[in-house]
Amino acid sequence: MLRKKITVIGAGNVGATTAQRLIEKALGDIVLVDIVQDMPQGKALDILESGPVYGYDSKITGTNGYEETKDSDIVVITSGIPRKPGMSRDDLLKTNAGIVKGVVENITKNSPHAILIVVSNPLDAMTYVAHKFSHFPKHRVMGMAGILDAARFSTFIAMELNVSVENIQAFVLGGHGDTMVPSTRYTTVAGVPLEELLSRERLDALVKRTRDGGAEIVQLLKTGSAFYAPSAAVVEMVEAILKDKKKIVPCAALCEGEYDINGLFVGVPVKLGAGGIEQIFEIRLNDEERTALKRSADAVKVLCEQIDKLL
């Protein structure tokens, strides 16, 4: 049986760690692309040489072009400049929109049937760029954010309650950034609603820390942004698609009327399988959650309108 082909665009911390995790799970053959001469080739060779220790026979190729990416099943886009201390996600908009547009135009030429997973920031807006310039159907374009945000929320809850992360089912909606909507009402610990276990004050503190999760790591690292948790989240999405798991996870998906949102990529619960996004799940929100989600969608809309003027 022919192995699946997964291309990772951008061989920085997020891209290289994603490639490493994908190959260690033997999910397919990997192509690692970056514009920096020889760098993806060096990282690919290093990862390949781990094969005898980890026991994988998958291949990984590093390249500075797109020839080797031809006929990829999944393409993960991590390219763009990272956020620096004091820089908002919105500051990244113009530079990264141009980068993602160029990447997508190359991908569509070489892999017209691929599924795109966007990781570049500001994430919801970059997923919009990928959809706009790929002309792919909406089920084959998605953004990785919800899984990462839910993982952060779960981590903080586990720390607070001193329980296993495996007991926690965290639920996060909305854009990836300051307006995201971690739901304390739908988040459960071993099936028990989180709101029954913590005071409103502690809940609010955990929600705030989740919203600021990326910025907290940027502040600590000083010279970059998170990459271990983001790469883990990407791998969960790739695995759900390639193994046709029909897994329900939060992703940035194109809403066309769901949650009263139209024409925007926003984090919502979706079913991920071989077809990509096979379904968007619409859950009942209370007035407070609906207002927060609308605010989040409005923030994404502003960025998308800026993109339409820029590109």
Residues annotated as catalytic are 176
**Whole-angstrom Cα distance, residue 28 to residue 60?**
9
Contact between 156 and 210 under an 8 Å Cβ cutoff? The reply is: yes
CA distance 248 to 33: 29
C-alpha distances (whole Å) from 211 to each of 41, 156, 176, 198, 264 are 36, 11, 8, 18, 20
CA distance 292 to 195: 18
d(CA 286, CA 91) in angstroms, rounded, equals 32
Which helix (H) or strand (E) segment holds residue 308: the answer is helix 287-310
Question: 3-state class of 176 per DSSP?
Answer: coil
